[in-house]
Chain A
Amino acid sequence: DAGVIQSPRHEVTEMGQEVTLRCKPISGHNSLFWYRQTMMRGLELLIYFNNNVPIDDSGMPEDRFSAKMPNASFSTLKIQPSEPRDSAVYFCASSLAMGYQETQYFGPGTRLLVL
Chain B
Amino acid sequence: AQTVTQSQPEMSVQEAETVTLSCTYDTSESDYYLFWYKQPPSRQMILVIRQEAYKQQNATENRFSVNFQKAAKSFSLKISDSQLGDAAMYFCAYSGTYKYIFGTGTRLKVLA
A103 and B100 contact, CB distance less than 8 A? no
Q: A42-B104, A101-B33 are in contact. Are A108 and B43 (CB under 8 A)?
A: yes
A100 and B99 contact, CB distance less than 8 A? yes
Is B47 engaged at the interface, CB distance under 8 Å to the other chain?
yes
Give chain B residues whose Cβ lies under 8 Å from the Cβ of A106.
37, 44-46
A43 and B35 contact, CB distance less than 8 A? no
Is B97 engaged at the interface, CB distance under 8 Å to the other chain?
yes
B97 (CB) vs chain A CBs: closest residue? A100
B96 partner, pick from A100, A102, A108, beta carbons under 8 A: A100
A43 partner, pick from B42, B47, B91, beta carbons under 8 A: B91
- Which interface class (under 10, 10 to 19, 20 to 34, 35 or more) fits A? 20 to 34
Is B109 engaged at the interface, CB distance under 8 Å to the other chain?
no
Interface 0/1 of B88-112, CB less than 8 Å to A: 0001000111111111110000000
Cα A89 to Cα B105 with chains together (Å): 15
Q: A103-B35, A105-B47, A106-B45 are in contact. Are A42 and B100 (CB under 8 A)?
A: no
Interface 0/1 of B38-73, CB less than 8 Å to A: 000011111100101000000000000000000000
Cα A108 to Cα B45 with chains together (Å): 7
Total residue contacts A-B, CB cutoff 8 A:
47
A100 and B43 contact, CB distance less than 8 A? no
Is A45 engaged at the interface, CB distance under 8 Å to the other chain?
yes
Q: A42-B104, A43-B91 are in contact. Are A100 and B42 (CB under 8 A)?
A: no
Chain B residues with CB under 8 Å of chain A are 31-33, 35, 37, 42-47, 50, 52, 91, 95-105
Return 25 A-B CB contacts under 8 Å, by A number.
Answer: A33-B100, A42-B105, A43-B102, A45-B99, A56-B98, A89-B43, A100-B95, A100-B96, A100-B99, A100-B100, A101-B33, A101-B52, A101-B95, A103-B50, A104-B47, A104-B100, A105-B47, A106-B37, A106-B44, A106-B45, A108-B43, A108-B44, A109-B43, A109-B45, A111-B43
